[in-house]
Each structure stands twice: as C-alpha cells, then as structure tokens.
Amino acid sequence: MNLEEYKSAFLVTILCLILVASFPTVSMVVPFPKGSERFSELWVLGPNHMAEDYPFNITIRKQYSVFIGIGNQMGSSTYYIVYVKFRNQIQPLPDTSSSEPSSLPPLYEFRAFVADDDTWETPVIFNILEVSRVRNSRLVRSMSINNVVFSVDSSSYWDSERSGFYYQLFFELWLYNTTSQSLQFHNRFVGIWLNVTDS
C-alpha cells in the first residue's frame, strides 16, 4: 500500500466512526421508516384522567368512574374489544405467559376501531348495587357498568394481611385477527382493586 491508499483508508475509517457516533442525533432529526415492532397499549386512568385517585374503598350504590384507553401501534387500523370482568382475590386473571384470557365471563364489552398510531378512550361508570355480609365474607350480588345491571354472585373472604374484602375490576384487550378471521386475546389486561369492607 502506498501513502495515498493509507490516507484513503484512514479517511474512510474516520468517516465511519463519525457516522456511528452521530447516529443517535441524526435519528432524532431524520425520519426513518417504522420498524417491524407492532404492539397495542391498554390503560386505565382515574376519574381525573390521571394514573391516580382510582376508586378503592367502595360504598354501596355510589357511582365511581375510571377511563379505559387503547393505543394502536399495529401498523394498520385495528378492531378491538375490551372485555370488562370482575373477580375476587382467588379467581383467575389472564395468563400472559401462555396468552390465555381469564376464564371468567365478561360482564360488559367495549368495541373500537382504532386507526394506526391513534388512541381511543371511554369512561367506565360502575357501582356495586347489592352486597350480603356473612361473618368473614362479603358476597357481591350485583353491580352496574355504564347503567347496565349484572348479577355477579362473587364471594370474598377477609384478607387479614390487608384488612379488607377485596375484588378486582379488570379489562382484557382482544383484537380481530385478519389472518385467522377471528377474535383473539391480545395478551394485555389492566385492573383496579376494590375494597368492599365498609359497604
């Protein structure tokens, strides 16, 4: 190699190092095509559209509200269903390791068609309508979600560690799979805990 070839190799190496070092800054300015990662978001917010002040200590027949939302990053418009379910502290949640939904029946559902890179949100208004008290258990007999009444008949036993009778209102995300032409659990769920001790 002569001196000119060494200079050329040295310059090419320096230019490559500069490009690699400047990539994080360049990627903030220059739009690159979206990657292949596709996902959806599911969230629940408190009554003030914040991740706080969730209903917790429940009073019979008092209305409570939260907001449920979906974010679509699937690369195309997607048809979603959010199933609303209610459980005591020992009933099954979805199993995200095996992508299995909870075996509990849905009480209510929301359907939404969400464009790619867009969000959807709606209020969920609920109240516990009837509770039976039997020694160390509480039986939630009925509740309403967005003014539709459901028979629940779910018992919770005294939790001595947390001093209460606990239930969970949770939301499962499903989507329409265009390949299989069927609804499938999208392996996402969120929920809030409810204490019915003083109800």
CA distances to 11, 12, 16, 19, 184 from 25, in Å: 22, 21, 15, 10, 39
Is residue 61 located within the same domain as residue 92? yes
Structural domain total, the chain: 2
The C-alpha atoms of residue 7 and residue 79 are separated, in whole angstroms, by: 58
The pLDDT value recorded for residue 5 is 62
DSSP string, 170-182: EEEEEEEETTTTE
Q: Quote the domain boundaries for residue 15.
A: 1-32
The C-alpha atoms of residue 114 and residue 99 are separated, in whole angstroms, by: 22
Is residue 113 located within the same domain as residue 79? yes
pLDDT in tens, 53-101: 999 999 999 999 999 999 999 999 999 999 999 999 999 999 999 999 9
Is residue 23 located within the same domain as residue 107? no
Residue 30: count other Cβ atoms within 10 Å of its Cβ: 8
Is residue 96 located within the same domain as residue 17? no
pLDDT in tens, 145-190: 999 999 999 999 999 888 899 999 999 999 998 888 999 999 999 9
Say if strands 64-73 and 182-195 run parallel, antiparallel, or are unpaired. unpaired
Sheet containing 182-195: which strands, arranged edge to edge? 108-114, 78-88, 166-177, 182-195
Is residue 8 located within the same domain as residue 85? no
Is residue 96 located within the same domain as residue 46? yes
The rounded Cα 14 to chain-centroid distance in angstroms is 47
- Give the burial class of 2: count Cβ atoms within 10 A of its Cβ; 0-12 exposed, 13-18 middle, 19 or more buried: exposed
Instruction: Tell me the pTM.
Output: 0.80
The pLDDT value recorded for residue 178 is 86
Grade residue 9 by pLDDT with cuts at 50, 70 and 90. low
CA distances to 4, 6, 10, 32 from 18, in Å: 21, 18, 12, 19
Are the C-beta atoms of residues 86 and 107 closer than 8 Å to each other? yes
Is residue 101 located within the same domain as residue 140? yes
Are the C-beta atoms of residues 39 and 73 closer than 8 Å to each other? yes
